[in-house]
Each structure stands twice: as structure tokens, then as C-alpha cells.
Amino acid sequence: MKKTIKLFWFISLLAIIGLFMTACNNLVDPDDDDGNQKDFAIVNISQETDFDYLFLNKKDGSRIYYNIDEDTGLPTRLYIKPKKDSDVGATFLFKENGLPDKVITNGHVFLMGNFREYQYDMAIISPNGDVEYAYNIETDINWDANREAFELRQVTGTQS
């Protein structure tokens, strides 16, 4: 269980990077003001794929594909591929209010819910069908305080 939770937190850290990029709500120019190449690019790929955007690390080829709800600016789906020539990756699915709902990676499914104060609950379904539950997982995030911001964004359609 501890190994699985460590894997979950590692993948979550990668997802936060992708979510930070979506919160900016701007496409990033791959060149800076001096014409120097940046080490990453964000590309609108909505015409060619089921995803809206691609965040590409030019140095190592890692990438993050993600979708954004146009009305709220919140993420709906995110796929992380940390190694260019590998099939390893993780899919994140989000609730309508932007909170994480499911993470699927390496045959494991993480289901998250009951977000309150500084805690949430999680179920982990392993590839062999075993289910483990973790209750009252503590975080540094006050979900109740952030819930108001999520709900405000849903109602008004404002984006950060």
C-alpha cells in the first residue's frame, strides 16, 4: 500500500505541473522576448486529437496532454507521459468542480472523494481486483476554502 501511495503522489506532482499551466489560461510562446528557444512548448492540438493542448518538454520529450472545460477553465482530463519512448503514463480525470476524481496508471485505479477541510478519502483498485481504502488522508490544502473558489469559477465561468 505504501509503495502504491508513493507512486500516486509522484504522479500527482507531475499533474500539478500540468494544472499550473492550464490555470495560466495562456498559450506559451516557445521563444522568449530575446528570441531564445524555451525548453518547452504548449500547443493547441484540439483539431487533430481528442485532447485540447499538449505541453511538451523539448529537452527530454516528456509530455502532458490535457483538456479544459471552456466555460469554467477547469481541467477535465489529463494524460502524463513522463518518458518519450515509453508506454508508461497516467490518466487523471477530474470532477466538474476541478477536483481530482480518478487516476489510472500501471493497471491501478485511484478513486478520490469526500474532500473536506484538510482531508480526503481514496480507494485503490489493483490490477488483480483487490481494493484498499485510505480514509482521512491529510493534505496541505484546505478543500473547504478552495471549494468556494471552484464553485465560483463554475457559476461565473471565470478563469484564473
Amino acid (1-letter code) at residue 51: F
Within 13 A of 85's CA, how many CA atoms are on the CB side? 0
pLDDT score for 8: 52
Nearest partner of 85 among 69, 107, 63, judged by Cα: 63
Domain that holds residue 41: 2-156
More confident: 67 or 29: 67
Give the number of domains in the chain.
Answer: 1
pTM: 0.67
Higher pLDDT, 11 or 78: 78
The percent helix, strand, coil of the chain (3-state, each to 5) is 25, 40, 40
49-70: b or e for each residue (b if 16 or more CB lie within 10 Å)?
A: eebbbbbbeeeeebbbbbbbbe
State yes or no: pLDDT of 41 exceeds 90.
no
Instruction: Give the HSE-up count for residue 61: Cα atoms under 13 Å, Cβ half-sphere.
Output: 5
* Residue 111 binned pLDDT confidence (cut-offs 50, 70, 90): very high
Residues 82-108 have pLDDT tens digits of 888 888 889 999 988 788 899 999 899
Unique residue bearing C-alpha cell 516557445:
30
pLDDT digits (tens, 9 = 90+) for 43-73: 899 999 999 999 888 888 889 999 988 887 8
CB 66 within 8 A of CB 77: yes
